[in-house]
Amino acid sequence: MAYFGEGKGPIHMDNVECTGAERSLADCIKQEIGRHNCRHSEDAGVICDYFGKKAPGNSNKAPLPAVCGLRPLHRRQKRIIGGKHSLRGGWPWQASLRLKSSHGDGRLLCGATLLSSCWVLTAAHCFKRYGHGPRSYAVRVGDYHTLVPEEFEEEIGVEQIVVHGAYRPNSSDYDIALVRLRGPGERCARLSGHVLPACLPLWRERPQKTASNCHITGWGDTGRAYSRTLQQAGVPLLPRRVCEERYKGRFTRRMLCAGNLREHSRVDSCQGDSGGPLVCERPGASWAVYGVTSWGHGCGVKDSPGVYTKVSAFVPWIKSVTKL
C-alpha cells in the first residue's frame, strides 16, 4: 500500500537505496532508470529533512528567548480540503488536543495553537462532549505524522481549561478556550525550532487590512480520509459583508471567514481541525494566529467558506487569563 497515496505518472526507479548524504534521488544506488517491476500501489513518499545536532546535557530544557511567530525551518524545501503535506516543523505552533487513553495513544479531538510554553489556544466546542475536566485530556506538540514518534514530539498533561464565560453550547459565538499545560513555572513544552509559539494579533486588529499569506493547518479530512501527516492550505480572508450574506443571522462580529468561493477550488477546513489555527504573515515576516477553526457548512462546499473565531476580538481576555 502506498503510504502517502498513489501516483499517476511514469515509474522511474525501483529498489532505491539511499544513505542520507545524497542531494537528490538520482544520486542513490539504483537499477537502470525506467526499469522496474512496480505498481503505483508500491509508491514511496520522500521528504528531505534536516535535524541539527542536539546540544549535550539537558540544554533543551533551557528557556528560549521570548519570541513568537517564527518559522525557522519552513524555507528548507478533523480538516483540510484541497490542502497538501506540510514540511516537518514548518508550522511550529501547531498542537493537538487529545483524549487521554489508558493505552497512551489518545484520540485526536481538535487542533490547537501554542501561545507560549504553557498555554495553547483552541475552540470552546472541543470540550462539549467530554467536559472540562483537565485529567481527561493531553496536548501534543512537535507532531508531524500522527503514527510516527517524532524527535521533537511531546505529549503534555493538562492543568487547567478556561472556556470563555460567554460561550453557550447551542451557539457558535464566543467559541474560544485556553488550555494551561502541566509544568513547573512557565516551562511546560520544550521550545525548539520545531516547537514555537505563534504571535497574538493586536486587539481589534483587522486582518483583512494588515495580514497576508494566510494558512490553515491540521490532520483532518482530506476529501478521502483523515490525514496522518500535517496538512496545510492557503486560504484568502473574505470581506465581512460576504460572510454575513452567506451566514445570515449566525455570523457575528467575533467571527471571520476564509476560503475560496469557486466550486473547483476545494480548500476549506473540516471537523478534524476544529480548534486549529488560521495564521497569517504580518509585516516583518512574523506569523500571528488570527482565527480559531470554529464551524461551516460541509467541507469545501461552494459558497460555504469556513468560519473562525476572530482572535483579535479576544486579545484582552487571552492576556488576562494567560498573563502573556
CA dist., res. 63 & res. 44, Å (int): 38
Burial of 274 (0-12, 13-18, 19+ CB in 10 A): buried
pLDDT band (50, 70, 90) for residue 60:
very low
Output the pLDDT for position 313: 97
Active-site entry in 86, 117, 173, 175: 175
Active site residue 175: yes
**pLDDT tens column, 231-268:** 888 888 999 999 999 898 899 999 999 987 765 555 55
Active site residue 85: no
User: Looking at the whole model, is its pTM more than 0.85?
Assistant: no
CA dist., res. 295 & res. 275, Å (int): 9
Mean pLDDT across 140-144: 94
Q: What would the DSSP string read from start to end of 239-266?
A: PHHHHHHHTTTT--TTEEEE---STT--
Active-site entry in 96, 172, 269, 274: 274
N- to C-terminal Cα separation, the chain: 47
Helix (H, G, I), strand (E, B) or coil at 317: helix
Mean pLDDT across 29-50: 57
Q: Which residue has the cell 464566543?
A: 174
CA dist., res. 87 & res. 200, Å (int): 23
Output the pLDDT for position 21: 58
Mean pLDDT across 121-147: 95
Active-site entry in 125, 145, 164, 215: 125
Active site residue 215: no
Q: What is the CATH number of domain 207-312?
A: 2.40.10.10
Q: Is 249 left (phi over 0), alpha (psi -120 to 50) or beta?
A: left
- Compare 59 and 158 and report the one with higher pLDDT: 158
Q: Assess contact for 294 and 125: CB atoms under 8 A.
A: yes
Burial of 96 (0-12, 13-18, 19+ CB in 10 A): buried
Output the pLDDT for position 203: 94
Q: Where are the domains of the chain?
A: 207-312
Q: Is 41 left (phi over 0), alpha (psi -120 to 50) or beta?
A: alpha
What cell was used for 293? 477553526
- Tell me which residue of 242, 234, 241 sits closest to 269, measured CA to CA: 234
